[in-house]
Amino acid sequence: MISYQDGIFHLRGETVSMVLKVDRWGLLELLHFGEAVADGDAEAFRFRPGLGWGSSVLLDDTDTESCPDALGLAWSGPGRGDYRESPLELGGEAVDLRYESHTVSDGIVPTGTSLVQAHGEGESLTVTLSQPGAKLQLIFTLFGDVICRRTVLENTGDRPLTVTKLMSSLLDLQGSFLMTTFDGGWIREREKHTVPVGPGRIVNESTTGASSNRHATGVLLSETDTTEDHGRVYGFDLIWSGNHHTAAQQSLQGLTRVVQGVSPAGFALTLEPGAKLRTPEAVMTFSTEGFGGLSAILHRFVSDHIIPAQWRRKERPVLFNSWEGCMFDFDHRRLVGLAKDAKDLGCELFVLDDGWFGQRNDDTAGLGDYTVNKKKLPHGLKGLGEKINSLGMSFGLWFEPESVNMDSDLYRAHPDWALTDGFQPLLGRHQLLLDLTKPEVRDYIVENVSAILDSAPISYVKWDMNRHSVALGVKAYDHILGLYEVLARIFGPRPQILLETCASGGDRSDLGMLCFGPQVWCSDNTDPICRQTIQGSLSYLYPQSTFGAHVSAAPHAQTLRSTPLCTRGYVSFFGCLGYELDLKHLLGIEKDEIRAQIGLYKQYRQVFQFGQFRRLDNGWQVSGDGITIAACFRGLVEAAPGYERLRLKGLDPQKRYRFHTVPRKLRIGQFGSLVKHVAPVDLDPNGLILRTADRHITLPDGEQAFTASGAALMAGIRLLPLFRGTGYHKDQRTLTDFGAELYIIEEDQT
């Protein structure tokens, strides 16, 4: 609901309110953003400035309430008495935008050229501010408990305006906060960092051309005592895939200014008379129920308003991807052999990754070309796709359309299509980016990718991008608009294709890309221990259905860490499950385990993919349709471990539930030299007999099954004892380093 009365706007969701006031100087004040309040509460939040503000300046020298520097605002500008960060810069000129008019409308206000935005039913408020020669629309759209915000600047004068910064949102929040950001790099995406916001400005920013693996677009602002389940926390994000900037800074008056938008780094645009500049949408919400409560609101928002409508709650196939198993070394026969094995294990979609086109035998050549490599694929993509379909699997294909290798037919024909900065070209992964601000480049990509998609039975696309950009400022901004146009032109007419976007893993996992494809490949790192961080961090802002999660080989290619197969499986269950390893060398017992994993995942796929995700003290849980599934993850094993509890969340305390362990198999080899104590003869733990036994014999690990009330399960049930140096026992849990367990809890209908 959006209401307006006597200069007060109230945007009210179920649990969240934003109260804005047009004050008597025409500034837009932020009276409140947080807990839902009533219409008519504005007076309670009024700024009362007291006796004066020392050296600060006043808009009206006779009125101490007119000090812009001391007010909590929802917009501001440079040079007119507000000395905090400005959301707008016009080449160093003073800006004095004041309220002119407003409209409240049903639905969303469409964004202009190729800017993606949240969709579905909503309600919008547009506040127009103006000054001689410029008009600024502040557009707020309310989707349940989430507010999206953006701005449109129009040059209404008769001389060009130089725009060096235009942000999507500014809010002055009352209070002291900790700011959590998600930072990293390739194969180390989304490490969580939390710092106090004080008088020095903290900036979470990307300048690589993409939303980046360095600093994700989403940030949290929490109060110091906020925990996973209790306390006040704000969530902020951007529907944008390029350079971004979110800053927070606390003023002397205890107001924390939060500014979100496109990074102003290197930004300088000439806005001609009559022209408009539009920003991407900023996303914001709030919860009193801790980080978990905030995530629940954001997950709902992403599922209902960001991902393409046709993929909402639509089950995603279990996929097999050729990359980690084959890299560039494959041909039709090898792929068909892999597909048969993958099908036998239960996979439903076979994805051919990099290497199918041009002279692409390693990563130094071929990008930009679309001729199928007939040496590797003599029957073409059509022949391969149809063969895979005949095995009962669907077929998917990798593309990297935004890039070009210098060793490619495309570069030889159009060297000027590459994005350069006038200096010697800088290569990243031996490639350049194409200049998507050029219409002929966009047309080339659209025509070629579309032709390939229409030439073979392709139902899934992995859209990759593997280097940072050299584009700065406006060029980087226009590049992303070009990308959005290309994606819309290719996938708009082909809504049946499941699009998973990727950028060296998680270099562009953001709400902008999720507007086109419902899932992202969030990291090239599939080590399940690293994935607990990466997927765990993503879960603060995005639901688990938005990330692909694959089981790969152990020792792991990026960390050389060995982890149990069940851990690799269980971590991947909390996402869109896939397998990405050479299947040829798997043991029979490993294949059996994978078959069981995929069977279980399919049985509970709705819950795994679309159930409500919650972070637990020692793992994750998903719940939906009366079923809760919880995984516990562990690090290094301790000697003489104590009792352990599993504390579930979100159950009905009154109801009874059936609790049971998902059976786990132990390998003989994990008992090492202990085996000789139970064997009738003295066996060498490294000898042939035990090595052979390890490949064929498994023991069941301890299982628990009982019924209990939701109250007991949420209080924390006691798990079976852990191995404590006494040998195998079927009523204990024998977990090795980095082990994992899975439990299923179903409502007891009896």
Of 442 and 467, which CB lies nearer to ligand GLA in the complex structure? 467
- Measure the CA–CA gap between 461 and 453, rounded to whole angstroms: 9
- 460 binding ligand GLA? (CB under 6 A): no
- 502 binding ligand GLA? (CB under 6 A): yes
Closest CA to 619 of 599, 596, 645: 645
Of 502 and 717, which CB lies nearer to ligand GLA in the complex structure? 502
Q: What mask of x and - would describe binding to ligand GLA in positions 535 to 554, judged by CB under 6 A?
A: --------------------
Q: What mask of x and - would describe binding to ligand GLA in positions 600 to 619, judged by CB under 6 A?
A: --------------------
Q: How far is the CB of 48 from ligand GLA (least distance, A)?
A: 55
- 505 binding ligand GLA? (CB under 6 A): yes
- 402 binding ligand GLA? (CB under 6 A): no
Q: Are 508 and 243 in contact (CB under 8 A)?
A: no
Query: According to CB under 6 A, which residues from 310 to 329 bind ligand GLA?
Result: 323
Q: How far is the CB of 447 from ligand GLA (least distance, A)?
A: 23
Q: Which of 53, 99, 398, 579 binds ligand GLA (CB under 6 A)?
A: 398
| Nearest residue to ligand GLA on Cβ basis | 354
- Measure the CA–CA gap between 589 and 419, rounded to whole angstroms: 50
- Measure the CA–CA gap between 109 and 279, rounded to whole angstroms: 13
Residue 287 CB neighbour total at 10 angstroms: 25
Q: How far is the CB of 411 from ligand GLA (least distance, A)?
A: 18
3 state SS of 161: strand
Q: Which of 145, 435, 464, 593 binds ligand GLA (CB under 6 A)?
A: 464
Q: Is 478 a catalytic residue?
A: no
Q: Are 167 and 74 in contact (CB under 8 A)?
A: no
Of 95 and 449, which CB lies nearer to ligand GLA in the complex structure? 449
For residue 107, what is the DSSP state?
Answer: S
Q: How far is the CB of 410 from ligand GLA (least distance, A)?
A: 17
Q: Choosing from 354, 524, 527, 694, which is the catalytic residue?
A: 524
* DSSP state letters, 178-209: EEEEEE--TTS--EEEEEE--SS-EEEEE-SS
Q: Where are the beta strands (DSSP E) in 51-106?
A: 88-89, 98-106
Q: How far is the CB of 76 from ligand GLA (least distance, A)?
A: 40
Residues binding ligand GLA: what is the number (CB under 6 A)? 12
Of 155 and 558, which CB lies nearer to ligand GLA in the complex structure? 558
> Contact region for ligand GLA (CB under 6 A) — 14-22, 120-128, 303-311, 501-509?
501-509
Q: Are 521 and 501 in contact (CB under 8 A)?
A: yes
Beta bridge partner(s), residue 239: 281
Distance of CA 569 to the CA centre of its chain: 20
Closest CA to 521 of 433, 613, 400, 615: 400
Q: How far is the CB of 431 from ligand GLA (least distance, A)?
A: 10
Backbone angles phi, psi at 132, to 5 degrees: -55, 125
Q: Are 518 and 307 in contact (CB under 8 A)?
A: yes
Q: What mask of x and - would describe binding to ligand GLA in positions 556 to 595, judged by CB under 6 A?
A: ----------------------------------------
- Measure the CA–CA gap between 445 and 490, rounded to whole angstroms: 9
> Contact region for ligand GLA (CB under 6 A) — 8-16, 24-32, 497-505, 712-720?
497-505
Q: Choosing from 82, 237, 464, 527, which is the catalytic residue?
A: 464
Q: How far is the CB of 524 from ligand GLA (least distance, A)?
A: 5
Q: Is 464 a catalytic residue?
A: yes
Of 317 and 505, which CB lies nearer to ligand GLA in the complex structure? 505
Of 23 and 510, which CB lies nearer to ligand GLA in the complex structure? 510
105 Cβ contact list (under 8 Å, min separation 6): 123, 124, 126
Of 533 and 558, which CB lies nearer to ligand GLA in the complex structure? 558
Burial 453-489 (b: 16+ CB within 10 A, else e): beebebbbbbbbbbbbbbbbbbbbbbbbbbbbbbbeb
- 271 binding ligand GLA? (CB under 6 A): no
143: left (phi over 0), alpha (psi -120 to 50) or beta: beta
Of 377 and 502, which CB lies nearer to ligand GLA in the complex structure? 502
- 519 binding ligand GLA? (CB under 6 A): no
- Measure the CA–CA gap between 575 and 316, rounded to whole angstroms: 10
Of 311 and 323, which CB lies nearer to ligand GLA in the complex structure? 323
Q: How far is the CB of 505 from ligand GLA (least distance, A)?
A: 5
Q: Which of 466, 501, 519, 544 binds ligand GLA (CB under 6 A)?
A: 466
Cα pseudo-dihedral 566, 569, 573, 577, rounded to 10: -160
Backbone angles phi, psi at 283, to 5 degrees: -120, 135
Query: According to CB under 6 A, which residues from 338 to 397 bind ligand GLA?
Result: 353-354, 363
Of 168 and 572, which CB lies nearer to ligand GLA in the complex structure? 572
* DSSP state letters, 630-692: EEEE--S--SS----EE---S--TTSEEEEEEPP-EEEGGGGGGGHHHHSSS---TTSHHHHH
Q: How far is the CB of 395 from ligand GLA (least distance, A)?
A: 16
- For residue 554, CA distances in Å to 161, 528, 569, 590 come to 58, 10, 12, 12
Q: How far is the CB of 263 from ligand GLA (least distance, A)?
A: 24
* 493-499, Cβ contacts within 8 angstroms, sequence gap of 24 or more: 494/450, 494/453, 495/308, 495/310, 496/310, 496/459, 497/453, 497/458, 497/459, 497/460, 497/461, 498/311, 498/316, 498/317, 498/396, 498/459, 498/460, 498/461, 499/460, 499/461, 499/463
Of 15 and 559, which CB lies nearer to ligand GLA in the complex structure? 559
- 504 binding ligand GLA? (CB under 6 A): yes
Q: How far is the CB of 529 from ligand GLA (least distance, A)?
A: 19
Q: Which of 281, 524, 701, 741 binds ligand GLA (CB under 6 A)?
A: 524
Of 13 and 325, which CB lies nearer to ligand GLA in the complex structure? 325
- Measure the CA–CA gap between 576 and 532, rounded to whole angstroms: 14
Q: Which two tokens stand for residue 523?
A: 């990291």
Q: Which two tokens stand for residue 708?
A: 């209990």
Q: How far is the CB of 501 from ligand GLA (least distance, A)?
A: 10
**Catalytic positions, written as ranges:** 464, 524
User: Which parts of this chain interact with ligand GLA (CB under 6 A)?
Assistant: 323, 353-354, 363, 398, 464, 466, 502, 504-505, 521, 524
